[in-house]
Amino acid sequence: MKGSRPVIGITTDLDKGHNSIEAEYAEAVAETGGLPVLIPTVSESGGMHAETVRLLDGLLLPGSRDMDPKYYGEEPHEKLRPMSLDRTKTEIEILGQAARRKIPVLGICGGMQLLNVFFGGTLYQDISSFLPDAVGHEKGALHEVKILDGSRLGNITGKTGFTVKSYHHQAVNRLGKGLKATAAAPDGVVECIESENDSSILGIQWHPERDLGDPVSEKIFDYFIQECRKRSARD
């Protein structure tokens, strides 16, 4: 029998033999009513990832290091930074299972970029190299985000724009199939992606888990947990 909290899987990094992730992700899930479960970075074996996802009501893809550009058909740029090779492989396998089951997925920062690539999109490997007039997007730089009218993010937050802190040097370039961009920085850099035909996919480029006391951040996690709770009730 399932408990009252939806089970949210959170993918993790593999660093020097340890699986780990920043504590804020699990704390944000727990504080908004979910049951966080960490998913280790391990090689697929005998359908293990499918079994893992069958236990979940939702999936959270956290921020990460750079993705290997081979996943979107490009050679590494000179400003590509350290990559999470094993983690990316595991996340793509887990995300594939989540997409088959149509459970809600929230991608944050690098997790949003992974979502875009998974659905066939591409990335700017380094914003400053490809978009030299871009506003600052690294080291907690502040910038405005404008939200598309009628978007899911607009409905969630009740706002048309707000200020965020950025911690990324890569960004969505060509959108993946079935996704739409629903928020952007003043320079046009995509700040939110959503699935076009249902409510299962939401990608956020900034870090709401780091500022859960902010009403906008809390509403994003509240929405995600509510969607996961609905999915749990259908099983």
- The residue to which tokens 């490809």 are assigned: 130
Tell me whether residue 207 is one of the annotated catalytic residues: yes
Given 109, 192, 227, 228, the catalytic residue: 109
Catalytic residue from among 93, 207, 227, 228: 207
Q: Which of 91, 93, 191, 209 is catalytic?
A: 209
CB 59 within 8 A of CB 65: no
Which residues are marked as active site? 109, 207, 209
